[in-house]
Chain A
Amino acid sequence: MDSEDDMHDANDVESLEDFYSGDTAASDDDERDFDFAKSDDSDDETFHPQRNYTILSEDDILQLQEEDITKISTVLSISRIQASILLRHYNWSVSKVHDAWFADEESVRKAVGLLEKPVVDPMLNAVEVTCGICFETYPRYRMSAASCGHPFCCSCWTGYISTSINDGPGCLMLRCPKPSCGAAVGQDMINTLASEEDKQKYSRYLLRSYIEDNKKTKWCPAPGCEYAVDFVMGSASFDVCCNCSYNFCWNCTEEAHRPVDCGTVAMWILKNSAESENMNWILANSKPCPKCKRPIEKNQGCMHITCTPPCKFEFCWLCLGAWSDHGERTGGFYACNRYETAKQEGAYDEAERRREMAKNSLERYTHYYERWATNQASRQKALSDLQKMQTEHLEKLSNMQSTPESQLKFITDAWLQIVECRRVLKWTYAYGYYLPENEHAKRQFFEYLQGEAESGLERLHQCAEKELQVFLDAAGPSKDFNEFRTKLAGLTSVTRNYFENLVRALENGLSDVDGHGACSRTQSSKSSGSKSKGGRGKGATSRYESTQWSCKHCTYVNVRSTTECEVCRQRR
């Protein structure tokens, strides 16, 4: 099976040569080709970066924690319990513990509450001791004390510990109940004095603390996922793929959003949830009642508006004047020429223009949001399709086409690529929304790349979805299957290249368009008839001129001369 040639044939993409540079050159047989497509390739790094993080299961976490405790305990010659308290105090940083301890052991001991010897020892010279909490007197074998020696009876200790544990993770910093004492209470006391349930809670908090208080580890944010991630600081990419298959950004713990930066994503998410769009809608589609100022949407009917009770003010929609003023003088009830006259005089320009602009900015946002949300939904669908593929269809297909399942990996690869591309594409719409309107060259280049990537992805998705179905529905082996294989594998690889280009360009801030003629090239290539979807984006936004700017907070499009937003009054 000579994949190279077939691929070219199968994909009648006019610009294929440009993007198809040497990716498949190394492969002669299918087996190798598919392994190759998976990883290891240096080109591949944009999508599967070298792992700069480790996924930790609960056992791994416990083991790491134990190792750190052992390290501290041996180096400082203190008990493991004390080492654990010390590490927690310094957010589980072994080096910080070392630094602090060797700089000033005494003050560290004092701050953390690790006493070298008891401050009181009443238990030696008395047979009976009074508990400092319940004030009962007990024989001393029924008393317990932390390293300080302040005695409390066991049932008071149990209550004290239990109250603290049920109050939250603060129990990890529990101190002797005596005010002003401050001796630390360690896990050894918890284990001898607390109930089974409380003990478990305590060790849970201890485990969580190791992940949550440590700067280089975080829990996977996927719901129900119990893995943690240990991240190597200073790595180029923040993308983390957890063992539970959830992709997220290490930096902001939102869903992975490469190549778009965390700031843009945060703005976009805030925007999607914010009320500002409602406000824009109200501004664009309603007018306030001239009397009671409540916004009124005019959805049909004549210009004679009667505000809802209790206001009941009757007014003209066009001029917002009282309806009682309308009549012969104004050119008849249904031809309010006062409006036209006033408009000519410029009286309504300001408000009208404002409404128009708000309407435009709402449309613009809707445009990007729609595409963002559609890709999101499409990705979810692709994920479930992939799952279905892996659990049902592959086996069926393997039997039907008499092909080992290992050789059907190209189908899984295609779907994985689709899922990843949908994610990237989705975020490019957030990127596009925030790309300044006046950077024409960048916008065009971006929309070109996005359009190319999107149309490539549509072809791939279509092929993986529809054309595969034919083989699933077929009764027996089909001789076209090999052709399908080369086509799908080819499309996968082409689409991956498109997206790599897109990601790379966005990551370096579209800097390619500054300076050389990339822009004009892309323009001509675009007009030469690729059915680029980016064109849609362009069509919807081209009416914005560089004489305007869009407010980051409420998206209202302002004239360039203003320095603060006319709607929300935030500074540019």
Chain B
Amino acid sequence: MQASRARLFKEYKEVQREKAVDPDIQLVCDDSNIFKWTALIKGPSETPYEGGVFQLAFAIPEQYPLLPPQVRFLTKIFHPNVHFKTGEICLDILKNAWSPAWTLQSVCRAIIALMAHPEPDSPLNCDSGNLLRSGDVRGFRSMASMYTRLAAMPKKG
């Protein structure tokens, strides 16, 4: 508990210090609980997520960083490796390939990389995975960008 708190505090200070370094990621610690974080990440360019801002929720276990944080999308996203309803993310480094040397910041970077490079062979969102697997890239892109527009962009008017 103490070790995880200390480590999270260090990450917190690091985030404060380097705010400008990675403009695509904005990590915020909950005001009252250092084990709850949220992040806003920008959809990577040249993907159907471009222009969208996606919110992630981090629930951090007491054994962190020996165990990985639980991360899910709060913003609806159409992506093969993200559960369409719950926002759960299928990413190896959040499961068995976790290493305590990863940080919340690097997890965010990994998720952005996942958005740019979906893995349709281990889908949590089968509809999305099937579109890509059947080679219908155009269909996938238009679905994904529609949801980006609907859920991840500021409402007009």
Are B93 and A134 neighbours in the complex by a CB distance under 8 Å? no
Which of A82-90, A155-163, A234-242 lies at the interface with chain B?
A155-163
Give bound CA distance, A44 to B133, whole Å. Answer: 62
Are A177 and B3 neighbours in the complex by a CB distance under 8 Å? no
Are A134 and B101 neighbours in the complex by a CB distance under 8 Å? no
Cβ of B85 under 8 Å from chain A? no
Cross-chain contact of A159 among B3, B14, B102 (Cβ < 8 A): B3
Q: Which chain A residue has the least Cβ–Cβ distance from B3?
A: A134
Question: Distance (Å) between the CB of B42 and the closest chain A CB?
Answer: 23
Q: How large is the interface on A (under 10, 10 to 19, 20 to 34, 35 or more residues)?
A: 10 to 19
Cross-chain contact of B99 among A155, A162, A179 (Cβ < 8 A): A179
Give bound CA distance, A133 to B93, whole Å. Answer: 15
Q: Which chain A residue has the least Cβ–Cβ distance from B7?
A: A134
Given A160-B66, A163-B63, A179-B93, is A135 in contact with B7 using a C-beta cutoff of 8 Å? Answer: yes
Cβ of B116 under 8 Å from chain A? no
Give bound CA distance, A155 to B100, whole Å. Answer: 13
Cross-chain contact of B66 among A132, A159, A178 (Cβ < 8 A): A159
Are A177 and B10 neighbours in the complex by a CB distance under 8 Å? no
Cβ of B67 under 8 Å from chain A? yes
Q: Which chain B residue has the least Cβ–Cβ distance from A156?
A: B100
Cross-chain contact of A177 among B6, B11, B67, B101 (Cβ < 8 A): B101
Question: Distance (Å) between the CB of B33 and the closest chain A CB?
Answer: 20
Q: Which among B6, B65, B67, B101 has the greatest number of chain A C-beta atoms within 10 A?
A: B101
**What residues of A have a CB within 8 angstroms of the CB of B67 in the complex?**
163
- Among A130-160, those with CB < 8 Å from B are 132-136, 155-156, 159-160
- Among B1-42, those with CB < 8 Å from A are 3, 6-7, 10-11, 14
Q: Which chain A residue has the least Cβ–Cβ distance from B9?
A: A135
Interface string of B87-124 (1 = CB under 8 A from A): 00000010000011110000000000000000000000
Q: List 26 A-B contacts (CB under 8 A).
A: A132-B100, A132-B101, A133-B7, A133-B65, A133-B101, A134-B3, A134-B6, A134-B7, A134-B10, A134-B65, A135-B11, A136-B6, A136-B10, A155-B3, A156-B100, A159-B63, A159-B66, A159-B100, A160-B100, A162-B66, A163-B63, A163-B67, A177-B101, A178-B99, A179-B93, A179-B101
Q: Which 8 A-B pairs have the closest CB atoms?
A: A163-B66, A135-B10, A133-B100, A132-B101, A179-B99, A177-B101, A159-B66, A177-B99
